[in-house]
Structure 1
């Protein structure tokens, strides 16, 4: 007699067909058969990573998506399990990461009763996802899964959610699952528009490319490199586009990153440009009201999706299509182009400013805490171009985003859409799972460390090869503190209390190290990178320099 195929088996079949290698989650009674199916020994099933919190499971799925280009998958049970997905789903949709959350649900007969763990999950999650559906018939599982995957990988990547009632999960399924569906393919933008853009670039005195999160995948970056090798156009990166300019192109095309405060070299270059070409730019990272506050910049938008128009972002043209293909065609149309001599001279001055901004101008006076730039430099010394570094949210994130050099896309992972606290460790864990031969790095504040530090237990259980560098300011939410002080000359609600980071790490079985004085910074960091398994480094930091981050603004408004 043939083996009975249950609803859970059809779900797993879909994961196999989409070549999903890792799935993250926490089990529960309403979805337990799906966990049984995942671990039934069938060849090609994804590896299940059981986490300590559903939010972290979704963060890990987000990292899997960003690092592989596939859809990341997380699973949780009904009620609070699904509820804990909310922050991760919101973050993934905001930041262009394709994820699929599968949530358990009460049996269909209980959907409208006040029963244990019953919640209108699809209604709750619809506003923050590209697709939110509840399976009402076991024979429809395969098609709903296909549509969920497709929606996550649309022109604007984001989150999908599928609600799986317990009785559908458990139900026998008669029909064969549908085959793998190859999603819609798009070509380059209009040839006529690309020709016009080539003419505009040729006529501009100082054209600049502003590359955003949708311009940061491997395919787009390859096409961008070819364009830059031929024409040496200057590039300003958003934080999530960090690394799109390779080391070979750094001296001719890299002019820093922009985000938060309008006072970077990239900001000054954009303000001086007479043609800004945005490539895969999403305003959620750095709103046009910051970098184009005066509203005078001439803008052309090249993207995979239509632009959001506002008072400070009204492109003369929108070139919508496959970004890589559009860049390839643009490169052909620019044949023979050279930057004007005056532009090259002006860019040389901007380049000197960029180098100068990485230097420590005022050392830390107390002899106990390290200057933020010294910590950035110490981390930089231990990594290479293949190292994946994830950055949590906090004051350290601004220092890292501005000053840490990265030469490959999606090797400096930053949450810059939602600025979600707690992503650093879960993201680095996935980097280690995908590349166990390399050391992955998480850079966190003490607040972000405590937010998801429970996953150190998961990291230890899987023997992950990672270093977590904790910038410790003694128990403050400092990114909030220094901005409150700039606004009100005082801070409120920012003290959460100190924790012994080293003891915390050791309690989970990880290695804990501490930098007791700035002179130890490089040696302790070197030891951390030579130590196998999860390592946590406690680095007391001098955040008195944070006000420098908001100094010398191009205009007087804070970002």
Structure 2
């Protein structure tokens, strides 16, 4: 028989919560205190965990999400009851859609007040359940460590996402007895079954126009390395969703058709339309709706850590569920000869390569002012080297960057297409910099998205974060405007007034820059990049060519 396990006595439930966070390996906690949760904040004073006060709770979740995406270990947000929790919802929904592990701890009224109309009483668990992988309230002090530990397990395993734990004030304030639970880490999966691997290998050998579609999970470094092996042996053409940015290495650039998303008019879309075999790796339909790219005529293979989320346009003929890297390496080992491209696929890839070269050679000649989006992308390409990380907000600029700015390091770029949440870039950048302070981080937003989280400039200044935030300025919600114009031939609710972003940045203590002519773009961009600390650069942009994004845009039309 096992000996009775003596429980540890803790001065407060908060002390146990913080100790469990330490046991999970948490290094940073992002949040805003309040009376219902301030005991946990007090316990953090005596902890090696770095507490980072933020200026809005949604941004705490965004920063935690960046930690989660880049490390695979859940980032942590800590907020108070009522509106402290409700402000988190957008950040938690975004994390789940993007596969980012996040654990949020939210304060709650005392259990005796939970069914009464008192200050900040709210059924937060019901509020979070639809947008998280796990949501629970701690009803007994003895369950504190269990609930926190399980939140990490749900957030980190399988496809990542968010988890929420509600902490009633009386439980965290009062002494408790309990023991820490040792972290189990991520569950180790095996490769998909050998018979399925063999069947897919035979499909590859017999295919005339196979295409690989990479999704979010493909951009995990280990999975990206395995995909490199498969592409090296098979030479199969490849495309990706926006979230898989950086998963394809430079060695395979000639057979990479670029990223696809939002509008079905890219080289990758054309490859998929003529394919007889489509292999998705680490893909979820939330990244790019299957109805947009799957005509149903190709054999469809799904490789992921989870079974497919099937719908009428995504019904895989084979599902290889298990560790992605191990499965892909097994398939690579079965490949006996590289693919000979069909004339159709070769023409699509050659045209894509010519467009890349056209932008590289002539993009700087777009000398109108305000600046053409491709001129900005061309200038940004020169500063986004392998040592720089990039976070991208949501807006028209997001499409130009996703299509035309390339990357060859897994998870070098954080880019969204799940909830398409505005305001993520700056808080993501802060979280990314905290994960690796040796790397410069560049974040990009429109002027609309920037002002949804720009209060975190103060956080960046306080942390001395080495971040350059670039704002594409047009005084409008342009991505909405171009869609309204196409549908209704007029716009509504999209225009707003100008802001002096240089002065705005300097008011927070950051360096501020603006570009006043096309000739200034490259020198001012380099000067802003040289700042060791937070800086903001405002770039007036001419979006008059944006309607072309919805059509078969060829760069020869512009360059």
Give TM-score, length-normalised by structure 2: 0.94
- Summarize deviations over 1:337-375 as a string: whole Å, max 9, x none: 22125367446534435426746689767x431110111
- Summarize deviations over 1:271-303 as a string: whole Å, max 9, x none: 1211110001111111011112x3323211111
1:19 aligns with 2:42: no
Partner of 1:528: 528
1:498 aligns with 2:498: yes
User: How far did residue 553 of structure 1 move?
Assistant: 8.0
Query: Residues 530, 232 of structure 1: CA spacing in aligned structure 2 closer, same or farther, 3 A cutoff?
Result: same
The CA distance in 1 between the partners of 2:109 and 2:119, in whole Å, is 8
- Summarize deviations over 1:356-410 as a string: whole Å, max 9, x none: 6746689767x43111011111111122113110001110000010011111121
User: How far did residue 430 of structure 1 move?
Assistant: 1.5
Q: Equivalent residues in 2 for 1:50-129 (5 A)? A: 50-129=53-132
The CA distance in 1 between the partners of 2:59 and 2:98, in whole Å, is 16
Query: Residues 272, 139 of structure 1: CA spacing in aligned structure 2 closer, same or farther, 3 A cutoff?
Result: same
Query: Residues 384, 363 of structure 1: CA spacing in aligned structure 2 closer, same or farther, 3 A cutoff?
Result: closer
Partner of 2:401: 400
- Summarize deviations over 1:486-530 as a string: whole Å, max 9, x none: 112111110122111111111101111010011110000000011
Paired residues of 2:9 and 2:175 also in contact (CA < 8 A): no
Aligned counterpart for 1:291 among listed residues 273, 283, 293 = 293
User: How far did residue 326 of structure 1 move?
Assistant: 0.5
- The range that moved more, 488-497 or 515-524, is 488-497
Partner of 2:557: none
Aligned counterpart for 1:200 among listed residues 200, 203, 221 = 203
- Paired residue secondary structure (2:213): strand
Query: Residues 361, 427 of structure 1: CA spacing in aligned structure 2 closer, same or farther, 3 A cutoff?
Result: closer
User: How far did residue 156 of structure 1 move?
Assistant: 2.4
Q: Equivalent residues in 2 for 1:405-424 (5 A)? A: 405-424=406-425
The CA distance in 1 between the partners of 2:262 and 2:339, in whole Å, is 29
- The range that moved more, 351-360 or 226-235, is 351-360
Partner of 2:268: 266
Number of residue pairs aligned between Structure 1 and Structure 2:
545
Query: Residues 421, 345 of structure 1: CA spacing in aligned structure 2 closer, same or farther, 3 A cutoff?
Result: closer
The CA distance in 2 between the partners of 1:416 and 1:399, in whole Å, is 14
Paired residues of 1:72 and 1:99 also in contact (CA < 8 A): yes
Query: Residues 142, 173 of structure 1: CA spacing in aligned structure 2 closer, same or farther, 3 A cutoff?
Result: same
Q: Equivalent residues in 2 for 1:111-190 (5 A)? A: 111-190=114-193
Paired residues of 1:262 and 1:553 also in contact (CA < 8 A): no
The CA distance in 1 between the partners of 2:388 and 2:407, in whole Å, is 9
User: How far did residue 176 of structure 1 move?
Assistant: 2.0
The CA distance in 1 between the partners of 2:490 and 2:146, in whole Å, is 56
Query: Residues 546, 108 of structure 1: CA spacing in aligned structure 2 closer, same or farther, 3 A cutoff?
Result: same
Paired residues of 1:265 and 1:353 also in contact (CA < 8 A): no
- Paired residue secondary structure (1:499): coil
- The range that moved more, 124-133 or 356-365, is 356-365
1:34 aligns with 2:35: no
- Paired residue secondary structure (1:261): coil
Partner of 2:392: 391
Paired residues of 1:156 and 1:305 also in contact (CA < 8 A): yes
The CA distance in 2 between the partners of 1:209 and 1:183, in whole Å, is 27
Paired residues of 1:386 and 1:408 also in contact (CA < 8 A): no
The CA distance in 2 between the partners of 1:530 and 1:419, in whole Å, is 31
1:472 aligns with 2:478: no
Partner of 2:546: 546
Partner of 1:281: 283
Partner of 2:514: 514
- Summarize deviations over 1:250-288 as a string: whole Å, max 9, x none: 23x322000011111111111121111000111111101
Paired residues of 2:364 and 2:379 also in contact (CA < 8 A): no
The CA distance in 2 between the partners of 1:24 and 1:212, in whole Å, is 28
- Paired residue secondary structure (1:543): coil
Give TM-score, length-normalised by structure 1: 0.94
